[in-house]
Amino acid sequence: MTNFTMDTCIDANTPLGIDQACLSILNLYYTPVIFYAIPWEAYTGTGVPKSVLLPNSNTSLIISTKYPLHIYYQVTDHDRYWEYCHLTYTFKEHGSYGWNISQSSICSDIYVLREPTEVYLPIFAAFMTFVLLAVIWTTSKVIVRVVKGKLSPNVVHDDLDRLQDTESMTHSVIQTTEFSTRIHSVDTFRGISILLMIFVNNGGGEYVFFNHSAWFGLTVADLVLPWFAWIMGMTITISKRTELRVTISRMKLILHCLRRSAILILLGLMINSMHSKSLSDLRFPGVLQLLAVSYFVCATLETIFMKLHSEDTLLQFGYFAMFRDILHSWPQWLIMAGIILTHTLITFLMPVPGCPRGYLGPGGPYEYRGKYTNCTAGAAGYIDRSIFGDHMYSKTQHSVYGSIERYDPEGLMNTISSIFIVFLGVHAGKILLLYYKDSSKVIRWVAWAVITGLVAGILCNFEMRGGVIPVSKRMMTLSYVLTCSSFAFLLYTILYVLIDHKQIWRGAPFVYAGTNPIFLYVGHILTKDLFPWAWTIANPTHASRLAMNFWTTSLWGIIGYLLYRKHVIITI
């Protein structure tokens, strides 16, 4: 008589956690076998041993549903190991599944014992709730205006001719401005970026696509930092044009850029110190540090080479007028081409001890059967480990790839990549300034979205993990930079048409957060996990985590709105 052991994880009354399912494996062998499982994107020939399946037994295991799993089992026969039944399956949260293996090495397909739950309903409910609130808010405003007899069309003000208060560069940290003179599409884009960043930094409801990709590929969370850097580039163009028009010396502007970058770096180090025990392990790189360096490089280049309208009459009215956005800044393009070429050559030609040239993977024990264990992030990781030592990102236990070498997602090579993202935003700002017809601006933004998207697709072979240069946020590869920039061009085009051209939307509620992005970013880091922004959930689910993360994001959105209503901008 065959004996079966039953684990309680297939009991319908036993709760499973977030991204968990139950797999019951029926082993009909007369000897123990070893069960292996690994996320499909990490599988390159080696799996992770999960359990020893006893002979003639039914073993139930709790497995992760974050990524599709590649599973198989191993049998030992006279000191030789045989692997059988390799298959990949997408398990779904809170479902119970069965799998049968037998002495004949014939394996059944995965079958469902208990249907999984619908994990995306909370997202749909949240979306409908926000839509309802937006409709109620808009309707109430219309009713109030009608009652007061003040219903009038929106007037969108152009801030291209706004003169900034030059005294604020050297004296004031908090300044009051007339908000109606700002470009609302720019603030809206920046608000979308910062609120989305707050949402994903707080967990994003623990959904995979609201968290950063494991190593290769692209998720919603992977877009936020490049978008923020891209729109920062656009504001560089606008602000530098304005500052040069009020005859501020270029050297003074460069010193101002240096001062602003230094403050950003200091703020970044202060934030990093929250997670350090002493100065000996203080992390030097960080998000604000990356933004500071990329800002300084691009802002300095614009300060040195930017031409005022009076200096480029030929480009405005000559034969090359339709290309003046490129010709206007050809020195910056040459410098940027040199930066990209240098980054590419280092990535693919620099020798790294014990590693192949051009390696872009995570390393670890499962990457090609541990062949590249010490090669995490290739040349970029090697450079960061050599320069920063203990002063870099300290986490070495990867949820997918196991134990990997230290590397920094905001390290030196990634910072160089971010410079190009900011520069593409600078170029988008050039289009905004140099062309007067809205149709001319829109056509060029869309064209750049297509160009950057096509080049990115060619580099990665239009795959998440493929091509000469795969898409990787962890490495900030060129294909990743171009992909994110393509989406940025496209999103800004839509916002510009809706807000500044057609004037059918004022950008609320994102426009409020977009006026004080650095304050909101630093504030949400300092208050993370503190009440009333967050609290401990005893038995978390996607719904409960999503509700809390939306609350956290909304609370910071409200703070941004209050600052907006008070006409307060906190700058550095």
Tokens of 567: 């006409």
What's the DSSP call for residue 54? P
pLDDT score for 193: 97
What's the DSSP call for residue 266? H
3 state SS of 112: strand
Indicate which residue of 70, 94, 184, 212 is catalytic.
Answer: 212
94 flagged as catalytic: no
Cβ–Cβ under 8 Å, residues 236 and 426: yes
Longest alpha-carbon distance in the chain: 95
Tokens of 168: 């604020």
Tokens of 189: 């884009």
Cα–Cα dist 401/197, whole Å: 25
Cα–Cα dist 34/175, whole Å: 66
Please state, in angstroms and as integers, the Cα–Cα distance from residue 309 to each residue in 241, 433, 442, 452, following that order. 9, 10, 21, 28
Residue from 59, 55, 1 nearest 28 by CA: 55
pLDDT score for 319: 58
Cα–Cα dist 231/432, whole Å: 12
Cβ–Cβ under 8 Å, residues 93 and 70: no
pLDDT score for 153: 46
Q: Which residues contact 250 (CB under 8 A, 6 or more apart)?
A: 244, 303, 304
Phi first, then psi, for residue 402 (nearest 5°) are 75, -150
Q: Where are the beta strands (DSSP E) in 357-477?
A: 397-398, 402-403
Cα–Cα dist 42/67, whole Å: 10
Tokens of 213: 């990709």
3 state SS of 76: strand
Which amino acid does the sequence have at 199?
F
Cβ–Cβ under 8 Å, residues 268 and 287: yes
pLDDT score for 175: 42
Residue from 545, 495, 552 nearest 520 by CA: 552
Query: Is cis: bond before 49, omega within 30 of 0?
Result: no
3 state SS of 30: coil
Handedness of CA 286, 290, 291, 292 (dihedral sign): positive
Cβ–Cβ under 8 Å, residues 452 and 488: no
Ordered DSSP codes for 519-559: HHHHHHHHTTT-TTT----SS--HHHHHHHHHHHHHHHHHH
Cα–Cα dist 152/139, whole Å: 15
Q: Which residues contact 414 (CB under 8 A, 6 or more apart)?
A: 290, 380, 408, 475, 476
Element (H, E) at 119: none
Which residues, given as ranges, of the chain have pLDDT below 50?
1-7, 151-178, 310, 314
3 state SS of 384: helix
Cα–Cα dist 325/454, whole Å: 20
Count of CB atoms within 10 A of residue 345's CB? 11
Please state, in angstroms and as integers, the Cα–Cα distance from residue 55 to each residue in 1, 481, 489, following that order. 13, 51, 59
Residue from 516, 499, 536 nearest 198 by CA: 516
Ordered DSSP codes for 140-201: HHHHHHHHHT------PPPGGGPPP-GGGGTS-SEE---GGGS-HHHHHHHHHHHHHHHHHH
Pair type for strands 402-403 and 397-398: antiparallel
Tokens of 313: 């009459």
Rounded to 10 degrees, what is the CA torsion of 344, 350, 354, 358? 20
Cα–Cα dist 99/476, whole Å: 39
pLDDT score for 164: 37
Cα–Cα dist 263/170, whole Å: 13
